[in-house]
Chain A
C-alpha cells in the first residue's frame, strides 16, 4: 500500500513537472483520428468524431477548495465554442468548465455507458440520433425539460421524455466539385439515383460505414430512400454503385482530402459524401475568399444528424448540469455553433453568419430513420453492406 502511495506521489510530482497543460476551455482540438471516422464531424454536426465527454464527478465536495465549482463536460473531439462564450458561462455560474474529449461520437457514448455507475462527467454533449437509442436504453441520462426547448422544432425532439435536448443539426449530403460539372457533360447529379448511371462511373468516393460515422449516415440515407423490401432495395442500389466503380475510403478525411478533386489533395473523384455545411467551410477556409464556393452540396438524398446534450445520471451537481443544457440553447451558443463546428443551430430564428446564409443550404426534405430502428438494425445493415460492397 505504501508503495502504491509512493507511486502516486511520484506520479503527482511528474504531473507537476509536466506543467501547464493547456486550459480546458482554450483550444478545441480534434482528437487524433488517425482512426477513421469523424474528421467530418467537424464539418457537420453528428458526423463522426464526437467523443463523449464525461464529467468526472471525481472531485467530491469535501475536497474541493472554496472557489468556483468544477463542471465536467464529456464531449467528442470536434467540440468547439469560442472562448469568450464559455467564459461567460463560467462567470455567470461561478464554475469552471472542464472539457473532456473522448474520441468520436461512438467511442464517447460507449465510454459514458461503461462509466454509468461512476459517471466520468456531469453533462454530455454530442450524442447524435444514430447512437441515441443505445444511450437511452442504457439509462445514462436524467430527464430535464429545458425552457429553451419551446423554440426548437418538434422534429428535432426525438426523446419524448426529454432525457436529451437537441442542440444542433447537420446533413450528410453528396458534395460535388463544381468545376468538374461546369461544362454540363455530364450535368451535376441531382440525387442518389443518378450515381448508378453510366456518365457517373468512377466519379464517387464514399466512406466505409463500419469505420466512419459520415459513411454510416450515408448508408442510412440509402436505406431510408430505397428501403429493405420491394423491387429495388438499398442493397441493389449498392450493387449498382459498386458496378459503377465507387471508391470506398476508411474515413471522411481520406475521401475528402485525398480522393475528392476539389479537396486539398486534388484527387480524381468529383463527387464525395460530405456535409451540407462543407461548401461554406471551403469558402471560410480559403486563402483568399473566392467569389463563389468551389463545391456544392446536392440537397436530395441527405441524411440528417441531430446532436443532443444531456445531464448524466449520477452527477453530484444536477443544477449546474442543467444550467449547461440551458447554456447550449442560449442565443450566444446557438449563434456560435455554425463557425465553430459547422452545424446549424437547433433554436429557430438564430441568426446565421454571412458565409452560412450565403453558401450553406438546408435540404428541404432530409431523410431520417427513427433512432430505435437504427439501434435495432445498424449492425446487421453494416454487415450486409460489407458483404455487398466489399466482399
Chain B
C-alpha cells in the first residue's frame, strides 16, 4: 500500500459525500435560498438595491461588531476554561470520571430560561452570594450585578459550551502518547515547555475543532442574548429573528441573512484550510493506556482544583435547579414530580411527562441515526481527503450551525411546500432540523482523530498482508469508533435540548421535554414553576444517562488498538 496515497480513494470519497450533500441541498441550501429569494425578489423581479442599503446602515455595523466580539470572547474564554478540564479528564484516572464527564455535558441541553433563572438565583441581587458580600463589606447595594451585562452572556456561554471543549479536545488528548511529553521532561523541559512544544502542536486540530463549534454556536445564540443580555444588546441573529418573525420585513432579513451566511462561510473556509495544515499524523494510543491515577501531591491538587472549579461553574447552577425542584411549601419533597403526573388530569393543556419523555427520546434517536450516519460519512471525506473540494465540503457541512434558525425554519415553509416533499407538517421535519445542527458535531469529533492516524500503521498492516478492507477494519475503524460515539452523544444531546432549529418551524403537536418546560413556565403560579424545575431535572438526568449509555455501546466490542 502506497503511503502517499490517501486512505480514501477519490471514488469512495465522492460516494460518501453524496448523501450528506443531498441532505444539505434539500434541507438547508434550498430552504435558505428560497427564503432569501422571496426577500430579494418579492414580485418575481430581483431587486438587489436592498443589500447595499441595509449593509451601509450604522446599526448593522454595530450588530456585526457586537456579534463577532461576543463570539470571539466567548470562544476564547470557553477554550481557556475547558483546556485544563480536558487535560485532567484525559490524563488522570479517578473515581467517577465517566459519570462526571457525562454530567459535564448536561448544561449543554438545558433550556435557556431555566439556566437564566438558576444564574439569577446564584448571582442575582438577592442571591446568597451577594448577601454574603454585602454583609462582609457593609455594602449598600449588591456588588455583583449580572443581569443585562455582557459578563452574564459570557458566563452563560462558558457554562453551556465548556463540555464541547472538554469532550472534543479530551477525545484526542486521551489518545496522545504520554511518553513523548515524558521524554521531553526527562530531557529537562519544564512542564509548560513540554506541553507547549510537544503536546500542543499535536492537540491543536482538536482545539480548533472545538473552538469552531463554540464560535458558531455563539454567533447564532439567540435565547441567551435575549434573556441575559439586557434590552440594549442585539446580535445579527436576534435582528434576523425580529425582521423575519415579527416584522416580516423579508428584504432586510434576506440582506442580514446573506451577511451572516456569507461571513460564516468565509471564516469556515479559512478555518478548514488552517485545520488541514495543523494536522499531525501520529501514533495514537488506547485511552485506557494514557490515563493513570494522580500520584504526586501536585497532581492531586490539580485534579482537585479542576474538579472544584467545574463544580462551581457547572455544578452549582445545576444543584440550584434540583434544589428548586424539591423545595415545596412544606419543606423538601417530591411533590412537584408527583404533580407532573397529576397536572394533565387538571386540564388538557399539560403534557403527561411520559409522553414528553417518549417524544424527546424518539426525536433524539432519529437524530442520532440520521446525523450519526451522515456525520460519519462527512467526517471520512473531510478527514481523509485534502484540497479545496474537501475544504469547501467541510465548510458547507458546518454552515447550518452558523445560520440563523429562523432563516432555515421559514425557509422550510417556502421551499418544502410541494408533494412529495411537503414535509412542512410532518414530524420528520424535527429530527431533520436537529440533524442540521448535529452533523457538524459528529464530523468535528471524528476529523481531528482521523487526520492524526499514522499512515505507517496502515502500511504495516498492508505489509503483513491485510487487504484495504481489513486495514480499514483493523486500523482506522477502532480508533474512529470512539470519536464517533462522542459525536453521537452530542447529536443526541442537541436533539434532547431542542436547539433553536425547531423554534421556528410549525410543528405537529408532539411535545418534547423542553417544550413541556416552556409550557409550564408560561403560566403564573408556584405549582407550574416548581414543576418546570422538576421537568428540567428529569431532562438533566435523562441526558446524563443517555450519554453514559451511548459511550458504553462500545464496551461490547474488544478494546481497540
Q: Which positions in A face B, CB cutoff 8 Å?
A: 3-4, 7-8, 11-12, 14-15, 17-22, 24-36, 38-43, 49, 51-56, 58, 60, 72, 74, 77-78, 80-86, 98-104, 106-108, 110-111, 113-115, 117-118, 120-121, 134, 208, 210-211, 248-254, 256-258, 263-268, 274, 278, 281-282, 284-288, 295, 339-342, 379, 389-391
Q: A4-B26, A26-B355, A31-B507 are in contact. Are A11 and B432 (CB under 8 A)?
A: yes
A18 touches B431 (CB 8 A): yes
Expressed in whole angstroms, the Cα–Cα distance for A380 and B504 within the complex equals 25
A285 touches B523 (CB 8 A): yes
CB distance from A282 to the nearest CB of B (A): 5
A27 touches B413 (CB 8 A): no
Residue of B124, B350, B511 most packed against chain A (CB within 10 A): B511
Expressed in whole angstroms, the Cα–Cα distance for A208 and B226 within the complex equals 10
Expressed in whole angstroms, the Cα–Cα distance for A342 and B418 within the complex equals 37
Residues in A with CB closer than 8 Å to B524 are 43, 256, 263-264, 274, 278, 281-282, 285, 295
B528 touches A285 (CB 8 A): yes
Question: Which of A42, A249, A263 is within 8 Å of B519, CB to CB?
Answer: A42
Residue of A30, A54, A72, A121 most packed against chain B (CB within 10 A): A30
Question: Which of B350, B420, B427 is within 8 Å of A21, CB to CB?
Answer: B427
Interface size on B, residues (CB 8 A): 94
Q: Is B76 an interface residue (CB 8 A)?
A: no
CB distance from B465 to the nearest CB of A (A): 36
B509 touches A11 (CB 8 A): no
Chain A, Cβ-Cβ closest to B249: A379
A281 touches B424 (CB 8 A): no
B366 touches A27 (CB 8 A): no
Chain A, Cβ-Cβ closest to B497: A32
Expressed in whole angstroms, the Cα–Cα distance for A258 and B420 within the complex equals 46
A22 touches B355 (CB 8 A): yes
Chain A, Cβ-Cβ closest to B417: A118
Contact sample, A vs B, 24 pairs, CB 8 Å cutoff: A17-B369, A21-B427, A27-B351, A28-B349, A28-B350, A28-B509, A30-B522, A34-B226, A35-B241, A74-B506, A80-B349, A98-B508, A100-B425, A102-B505, A103-B504, A107-B245, A110-B410, A120-B425, A121-B425, A257-B521, A264-B526, A265-B120, A268-B125, A340-B348
Given contacts A27-B352, A32-B515, A285-B526, 19 further A-B contacts (CB under 8 A): A15-B431, A18-B362, A27-B344, A28-B350, A29-B351, A31-B503, A38-B522, A54-B425, A74-B506, A98-B509, A104-B245, A110-B410, A115-B414, A117-B417, A254-B116, A257-B117, A258-B120, A282-B524, A285-B524
Residues in B with CB closer than 8 Å to A249 are 231
Expressed in whole angstroms, the Cα–Cα distance for A342 and B413 within the complex equals 30
Number of A-B contacts (CB under 8 A): 305
Residues in B with CB closer than 8 Å to A339 are 347
The 10 A-B pairs with the shortest beta carbon distances in the complex, nearest first, are A285-B525, A264-B529, A80-B349, A34-B223, A27-B351, A29-B511, A56-B425, A102-B506, A39-B522, A30-B519
Q: Is B161 an interface residue (CB 8 A)?
A: no
A24 touches B507 (CB 8 A): no
CB distance from A259 to the nearest CB of B (A): 9
B362 touches A20 (CB 8 A): yes
Expressed in whole angstroms, the Cα–Cα distance for A72 and B244 within the complex equals 24
Q: Is B363 an interface residue (CB 8 A)?
A: yes
Expressed in whole angstroms, the Cα–Cα distance for A3 and B22 within the complex equals 8
Q: Is B87 an interface residue (CB 8 A)?
A: no
Residues in A with CB closer than 8 Å to B18 are 3
A82 touches B509 (CB 8 A): no
Q: A49-B522, A258-B117 are in contact. Are A21 and B359 (CB under 8 A)?
A: yes
Q: Is B365 an interface residue (CB 8 A)?
A: yes
Expressed in whole angstroms, the Cα–Cα distance for A103 and B528 within the complex equals 20
Residues in A with CB closer than 8 Å to B356 are 27, 29
A-contact 0/1 string along B400-425, CB 8 Å cutoff:
00000000001001100111111011
A115 touches B365 (CB 8 A): no
Question: Which of B117, B506, B526 is within 8 Å of A51, CB to CB?
Answer: B506
B344 touches A120 (CB 8 A): no
Question: Which of B125, B516, B525 is within 8 Å of A264, CB to CB?
Answer: B525
Q: Which positions in B face A, CB cutoff 8 Å?
A: 18-19, 22-23, 26, 38, 111-113, 116-117, 120-121, 124-126, 222-223, 226-227, 231-232, 241-242, 244-249, 328-329, 335, 344, 347-352, 355-356, 358-359, 362-363, 365-366, 369-370, 410, 413-414, 417-422, 424-428, 431-432, 498, 502-512, 514-519, 521-530
CB distance from A383 to the nearest CB of B (A): 11
Residues in A with CB closer than 8 Å to B522 are 30, 33, 38-43, 49, 77-78, 252-253
A110 touches B245 (CB 8 A): yes
A114 touches B351 (CB 8 A): no
CB distance from B372 to the nearest CB of A (A): 11
Expressed in whole angstroms, the Cα–Cα distance for A101 and B503 within the complex equals 10
Residues in B with CB closer than 8 Å to A78 are 522
Question: Which of A34, A55, A211, A288 is within 8 Å of B111, CB to CB?
Answer: A34
Expressed in whole angstroms, the Cα–Cα distance for A40 and B116 within the complex equals 18
Residues in A with CB closer than 8 Å to B502 are 32
B518 touches A32 (CB 8 A): yes
Residue of A40, A258, A274, A282 most packed against chain B (CB within 10 A): A258
A28 touches B519 (CB 8 A): yes
A250 touches B503 (CB 8 A): no
Residue of B125, B355, B426, B506 most packed against chain A (CB within 10 A): B506
Residues in A with CB closer than 8 Å to B427 are 15, 18, 21
Question: Which of B227, B246, B365 is within 8 Å of A34, CB to CB?
Answer: B227
CB distance from B469 to the nearest CB of A (A): 24
A17 touches B366 (CB 8 A): yes
Residues in A with CB closer than 8 Å to B349 are 27-28, 42, 80-81, 340-341
Expressed in whole angstroms, the Cα–Cα distance for A370 and B405 within the complex equals 33
B365 touches A53 (CB 8 A): no
Expressed in whole angstroms, the Cα–Cα distance for A102 and B517 within the complex equals 17
Expressed in whole angstroms, the Cα–Cα distance for A36 and B112 within the complex equals 11
B329 touches A211 (CB 8 A): no
Question: Which of A3, A34, A99, A107 is within 8 Å of B509, CB to CB?
Answer: A99
Chain A, Cβ-Cβ closest to B330: A287
CB distance from A170 to the nearest CB of B (A): 13
Expressed in whole angstroms, the Cα–Cα distance for A36 and B234 within the complex equals 13
A22 touches B428 (CB 8 A): no
A85 touches B348 (CB 8 A): yes
Question: Which of A83, A134, A258 is within 8 Å of B248, CB to CB?
Answer: A134
Expressed in whole angstroms, the Cα–Cα distance for A114 and B369 within the complex equals 32
B350 touches A27 (CB 8 A): yes
A114 touches B116 (CB 8 A): no
Residues in A with CB closer than 8 Å to B335 are 287
Residues in B with CB closer than 8 Å to A252 are 522
Question: Which of B355, B414, B419, B527 is within 8 Å of A285, CB to CB?
Answer: B527
Q: A29-B518, A115-B424, A257-B521 are in contact. Are A251 and B227 (CB under 8 A)?
A: yes
Residues in A with CB closer than 8 Å to B222 are 34-35
Expressed in whole angstroms, the Cα–Cα distance for A27 and B530 within the complex equals 19
A111 touches B511 (CB 8 A): no
Residues in B with CB closer than 8 Å to A34 are 111-113, 222-223, 226-227, 503, 518
CB distance from A299 to the nearest CB of B (A): 17
Residue of B26, B359, B418 most packed against chain A (CB within 10 A): B359
Residues in A with CB closer than 8 Å to B506 are 51-54, 74, 100-103, 108, 111, 120
Chain A, Cβ-Cβ closest to B350: A27
CB distance from A58 to the nearest CB of B (A): 5
B348 touches A99 (CB 8 A): no
Question: Which of B369, B419, B432, B509 is within 8 Å of A101, CB to CB?
Answer: B509
Question: Which of A18, A106, A117, A263 is within 8 Å of B366, CB to CB?
Answer: A18
B508 touches A211 (CB 8 A): no
Expressed in whole angstroms, the Cα–Cα distance for A243 and B431 within the complex equals 48
Residue of A54, A254, A256 most packed against chain B (CB within 10 A): A254
Residues in A with CB closer than 8 Å to B503 are 31-35, 103
Residues in B with CB closer than 8 Å to A264 are 524-526, 528-530
Chain A, Cβ-Cβ closest to B226: A250
Chain B, Cβ-Cβ closest to A256: B524
